[in-house]
Amino acid sequence: MADADPAGRTLRIEEAEKKPNTLRKRLLGGIAGAVLLAGAGYGGWYALVGSHHIGTDNAYVGADTASVTPMIAAQVLRVAVADTQAVKKGDVLVQLDDSDARIALAQAEADLAKARRQYGQTSATSAALAAQVDARSADIARARAQLVSAQADYEKARVDLARRQRLAPNGAVSGEELSSANTALASARAALELARAGVAQASSTKGAASGELAANNALISGTTANTAPEVLAAQAKVAQARLDLERTVIRAPIDGVITRRNVQVGQRVAPGTALMLIVPIDALYVDANFKEGQLDRVKVGQPVTLTSDLYGGNVTYHGKVVGLSGGTGGAFALIPAQNATGNWIKVVQRLPVRVALDPKELQAHPLRVGLSMDAEIDVSAN
C-alpha cells in the first residue's frame, strides 16, 4: 500500500495540470469566437449601413451675419441695444442726431416751392409775350397804314410840283409857290422813308417778341408744374433729404442676436462705420469639412444627421447638403501652400460642405456661430 501512494499522487497531479490547460483553451476559443462574431457583425453593419454614411467631427456652425452701418455722418444720441440682446427686424438700434437732416429737408422743401413758383412765372411770361407779339402785329399794321398815307402824300406832292413846273415859264406860278412845292415834295419824301423805316422796325420788334415767346415756350413745352425738370430736380432733393432724416434712426435689418457692438453715445460716426453685427440664430448652417477621399458620393440634397458638443448626443439635428465649397481651406488661405518649391509633403485636404439646418429644430435647441458639430451624411440617398 505504501508503494501505491506515490503513483496515485502523480496521477492526481497530472489531472490537476490538465484542467487549467483545458480551461485556457476554452477561454481562448471563446475569445476567438467573440472576435470573429464581432468582426462578422461589424462587416455586416458596414456593408448594410456604414458604407452608406460618411462622418466628420470637423464641423462648425456658421451664419450670414448682418453688419449694421450708418448711411450718413452724425453724432450718436442713443444706443438702444447691448451685446447678446435679441432683436426683431425693424427694432430701433441706434438714434443719430437729426438736427442737420431736418435743416436740409427744410431747405430742400423751400427750393421745391421756389421751383414751382418759377414754373408758374415762366408760364405767365409766355402769356405776356404772346400779348406782346399781338401788339407788335398791330404796330406793323399801323406802320403799313402810315406808309400808305406817306406814299399818297408823296405822290400828291410830286404831281403838284410837276404841274407848277409846267406853268412856271408862262409866269402863272410865282417863284415862291414853286419853292413851296419843292419843299412839300422833299417833306413828303422824308415822311415816306420814315414810314418805311417804321414798318421795318415794327416787323423787327415782332420778330424779337416771337423769338422770346418761342424760347419761353420751350422751357414749359410738354411739362406741368409737377413734371418740369427744375421741379423734378427739387423733388429729388426733397426725397434725398427726407431719406437722410429717416436714416438718423438705424433699425435692425433682420431678426437675430446683437454681437460685437462697438458704438457709444456721443460718438460721431461716418457712413460705412461698422456699429455692430446681428447674428440670425434662426437661420444658421453648418460647414462640415470632409476629407477629399470621402466626397466622391456626396451630392446636393442628401440628408445629414448632426449633433453638437453643446447638447451632446441627446439632441440630434437633421439637415441636408446645399452645396460644396469651390475650394479647400488651404487654397484660400492668406498664404497658400506652394507645393512646387519641392518641400512637399502630401497632406489630406478637407473641403467645406454646406449643410442647412431645420429652423424648427434650431428654435427648440438654439445654437451659436462657431460651435463644434459632428456631421454624418447619408450618401446612399440621391
pLDDT digits (tens, 9 = 90+) for 127-162: 776 777 777 777 777 878 887 888 887 788 788 777
Residue 175 to residue 138: CA distance in whole angstroms = 44
- Who contacts 83 (Cβ-Cβ below 8 Å, separation ≥6)? 258, 259, 260, 261
Look at residue 19 and tell me if it is in a domain.
no
pLDDT at 293 over 70: yes
Helix 99-167 to helix 175-220 angle (10° resolution) is 160
Q: Are residues 255 and 308 in the same domain?
A: no
Q: Is the separation of the CB atoms in 368 and 328 below 8 Å?
A: no
Q: Which pTM does this prediction carry?
A: 0.65
Look at residue 115 and tell me if it is in a domain.
yes
pLDDT of residue 1: 43
Please state, rounded to an integer, the average pLDDT across all residues of the chain: 82
Give the CA diameter of the chain.
221
Q: Are residues 122 and 134 in the same domain?
A: yes
Task: Return the exposure string of 271-289: e unless at least 16 CB atoms fall within 10 Å of the residue's CB, then b.
Answer: eeeebbbbbbbbebbbbbb
Q: Helices H, strands E: what count in the chain?
A: 5, 14
Q: Please list the residues that pair with 67 across neighbouring strands.
A: 277
- Look at the chain and report how many structural domains it folds into: 3
Residue 315 to residue 355: CA distance in whole angstroms = 17
Q: Are residues 195 and 325 in the same domain?
A: no
Domain limit, last residue, from 190, 222, 243? 243
Q: Are residues 296 and 365 in the same domain?
A: yes
- Taking residues 98-124, what's their average pLDDT? 88
Q: Which range has the top average pLDDT, 14-18, 181-185, 295-299?
A: 295-299
Angle ∠(337,292,295) on CA atoms, nearest 5: 150
Q: Are residues 124 and 226 in the same domain?
A: yes
Q: Are residues 231 and 259 in the same domain?
A: no
- Taking residues 75-85, what's their average pLDDT? 95
Q: Please list the residues that pair with 277 across neighbouring strands.
A: 67, 259
Q: Which range has the top average pLDDT, 45-49, 153-157, 198-202, 272-276?
A: 272-276
Look at residue 44 and tell me if it is in a domain.
no
In this prediction, residue 251 has a pLDDT band, given cuts at 50, 70 and 90, of very high
